[in-house]
């Protein structure tokens, strides 16, 4: 047998099992596990689903953000309309001769939220405050690249970043450079978050 034949080399280099067809693979970037759990894609993509493995469907559900992809202004507008829609008589007259300016649409307990749309999707649902967009589009995108949303604190961002680098680095993949683009995205996203003082 010729051990130096190109065919033999190719076989030897291949360390990982064939990836599953994309239809059944987990939609989480870089995850090779079967995606057997469905998760809704969200606003304007009703009826569309991601397929995740158990770990990633849990993670997705914990960070699910209905407003993903909307600008801060859009979210504020949506909230304002929701306020008007749900409670037409909301705070009528409160401002008259009152305590001065009150920002519309961000009053914590001013309206009923039967769908739970504005509640933070934190695990356990402990935080019932209305969700407020805190970040600009670039930071939000960067968080999404890391698989996080605006509820992530600096510690979480750092930890997630380290996880990704560990997972995607060629050294951790037997020299496989096919994940480099994804790694570059992760690093770029982390830089954005760092310069926004979020990480």
Q: Which of 99, 27, 93 is nearest to 56 (CA)?
A: 27
131 contributes a contact to Zn ion by CB under 5 A: no
User: Are the C-beta atoms of residues 31 and 56 closer than 8 Å to each other?
Assistant: yes
Q: How far is the CB of 173 from Zn ion (least distance, A)?
A: 17
Task: Point out which span in 50-58, 130-138, 153-161, 180-188 binds Zn ion (CB under 5 A).
Answer: 50-58
Q: Give me the residue label for tokens 């039967």.
A: 114
DSSP annotation string for 13-55: H--SPPPPPTTTB-SSTT--SB--EEEE--TT-TT-EEEE-HH
56 contributes a contact to Zn ion by CB under 5 A: yes
Residue whose CB is less far from Zn ion, 52 or 161:
52
Residue whose CB is less far from Zn ion, 41 or 119:
41
The greatest distance separating any two alpha carbons of the chain, rounded to the nearest whole angstrom, comes to: 94
How buried is residue 26: exposed, middle or buried, by Cβ count under 10 Å (0-12/13-18/19+)?
buried
39 contributes a contact to Zn ion by CB under 5 A: no
Residue whose CB is less far from Zn ion, 7 or 23:
23
189 contributes a contact to Zn ion by CB under 5 A: no
Residue 106 DSSP class: -
Residue whose CB is less far from Zn ion, 33 or 76:
33
53 contributes a contact to Zn ion by CB under 5 A: yes
28 contributes a contact to Zn ion by CB under 5 A: yes
58 contributes a contact to Zn ion by CB under 5 A: no
Q: Which residues sit at the interface with Zn ion, rule CB under 5 A?
A: 26, 28, 31, 33, 53, 56
């Amino acid at each position: 047998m010729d051990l130096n034949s190109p065919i033999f080399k190719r076989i030897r280099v291949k360390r990982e099992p064939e990836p599953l067809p994309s239809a059944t693979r987990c939609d989480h970037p870089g995850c090779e596990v079967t995606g057997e759990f469905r998760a809704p894609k969200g606003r304007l993509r009703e009826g569309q689903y991601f397929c995740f493995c158990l770990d990633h469907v849990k993670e997705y559900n914990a960070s699910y953000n209905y407003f993903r992809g909307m600008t801060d202004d859009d979210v504020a507008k949506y909230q304002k309309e929701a306020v008007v829609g749900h409670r037409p008589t909301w705070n009528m007259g409160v401002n008259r001769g009152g305590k001065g300016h009150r920002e519309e649409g961000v009053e914590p307990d001013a309206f009923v939220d039967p769908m739970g749309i504005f509640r933070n999707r934190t695990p356990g649902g402990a935080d019932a405050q209305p969700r407020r967009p805190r970040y600009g589009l670039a930071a939000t995108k960067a968080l999404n690249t890391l698989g996080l949303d605006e509820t992530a604190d600096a510690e979480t961002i750092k930890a997630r970043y380290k996880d990704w680098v560990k997972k995607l680095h060629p050294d951790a993949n037997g020299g496989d450079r096919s994940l480099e683009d994804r790694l570059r995205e992760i690093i770029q996203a982390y830089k954005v978050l760092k310069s926004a003082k979020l990480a």
